[in-house]
């Protein structure tokens, strides 16, 4: 059976996450329904990284198998036609070997988090940022972020319902930068790892926010990581500010 690699963009706001659910609208469910309307098949998608409710993607990757070898542009355009008016777009479709697996072949996943740092609420981007009204200093945030790099037990930044067998993860990148957006500032946090624990990125962002308002030092954040003490972490950052932005393969 021909295997297709899909690159997908979506606004996570209207969806209850990526993973198919019987009683809720999900990204996976919407695309699989579009596949059925396109070619009458009940194909199942496998994605690189399942996103939570409200989390967005600019470069999610998934694969599916179809009985017929369709032209790749036909697959892309037909799925997009059947996905309207949902905020999901198939950016590309490509034939790949049967050995390709969107999840297991991935060697690195990339996320980006946006914090709108101003008193006034967001009028245009409220569904894509975390608005923090008190001043944040990105320098101590970045300093604290560097203490989380490497192979560690990330129990402190793990959701209680996380199903991963081990809390050990290797964080390859966690950068905090400041960008001016007209009259206000936006703090951007970029991170990548082979894999993440459930809620890990949002938990780290919430704790880095406390470093940004100087309620925690870099040493405090390192100690939270070492001890696994969730009670000292910051709030779980809202899903709206998080976007899955890429996945690397060999």
Q: Is the peptide bond before 103 cis (omega within 30 degrees of 0)?
A: no
Is-contact 177 244, C-beta < 8 A? Answer: no
Per-residue confidence (pLDDT) for residue 180, from 0 to 100: 76
Whether 248 is a known active-site residue: answer no
Structural domains of the chain, ranges and CATH numbers in brackets: 3-96 (3.30.70.580), 107-249 (3.30.70.660)
Per annotation, catalytic residue among 23, 52, 73, 175: 52
Name the phi and psi angles at 18, rounded to 5.
-80, -50
∠ Cα 96 26 241 (to 5°): 95
pLDDT in tens, the chain (250 residues): 899 999 999 999 999 999 999 899 999 999 999 999 999 888 899 999 999 999 999 999 999 999 989 999 999 999 999 999 999 999 999 999 999 999 999 999 999 999 999 999 999 999 999 999 999 999 999 999 999 999 999 999 999 888 899 999 999 999 999 987 666 789 999 999 999 999 999 999 999 999 999 999 999 999 999 999 999 999 999 999 999 999 999 8
- Full-model pTM: 0.95
Cα–Cα dist 211/136, whole Å: 8
Q: What is the largest CA-CA distance in the chain?
A: 58
Per-residue confidence (pLDDT) for residue 181, from 0 to 100: 67
Q: Quick one: CA torsion of 21, 27, 28, 32, rounded to 10 degrees?
A: 110
Per-residue confidence (pLDDT) for residue 182, from 0 to 100: 63
Quick one: 228 exposed, middle or buried, by C-beta within 10 A (0-12, 13-18, 19+)? middle
**What number of other Cβ atoms are within 10 A of residue 71's Cβ?**
11
């Amino acid at each position: 059976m021909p295997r297709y690699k899909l690159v997908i963009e979506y606004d996570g706001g209207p969806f209850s996450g990526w993973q198919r659910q019987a009683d809720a609208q999900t990204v996976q469910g919407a695309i699989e329904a579009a596949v059925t309307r396109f070619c009458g098949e009940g194909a199942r998608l496998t994605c690189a990284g399942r996103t939570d409710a409200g989390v967005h993607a600019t470069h999610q990757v998934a694969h599916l198998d179809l009985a017929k070898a369709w032209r790749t542009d036909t697959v892309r355009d037909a799925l997009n036609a059947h996905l309207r008016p949902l905020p999901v777009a198939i950016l590309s479709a490509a034939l790949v070997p049967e050995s390709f697996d969107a999840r297991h072949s991935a060697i690195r996943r990339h996320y980006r988090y946006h914090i709108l740092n101003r008193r006034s609420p967001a009028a245009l981007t409220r569904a894509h940022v975390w608005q923090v009204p008190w001043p944040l200093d990105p320098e101590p945030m970045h300093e604290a972020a560097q203490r989380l790099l490497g192979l560690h037990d990330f129990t402190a930044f793990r959701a209680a319902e996380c199903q991963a067998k081990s809390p050990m993860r290797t964080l390859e990148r966690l950068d905090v930068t400041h960008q001016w957006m007209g009259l206000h500032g936006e703090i951007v946090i970029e991170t990548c790892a082979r894999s993440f624990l459930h809620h890990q990125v949002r938990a780290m962002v919430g704790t880095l926010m406390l470093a940004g308002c100087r309620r925690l030092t870099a040493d405090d954040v390192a100690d939270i990581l070492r001890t696994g003490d969730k009670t000292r972490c910051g709030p779980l950052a809202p899903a709206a500010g998080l976007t899955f932005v890429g996945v690397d393969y060999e």
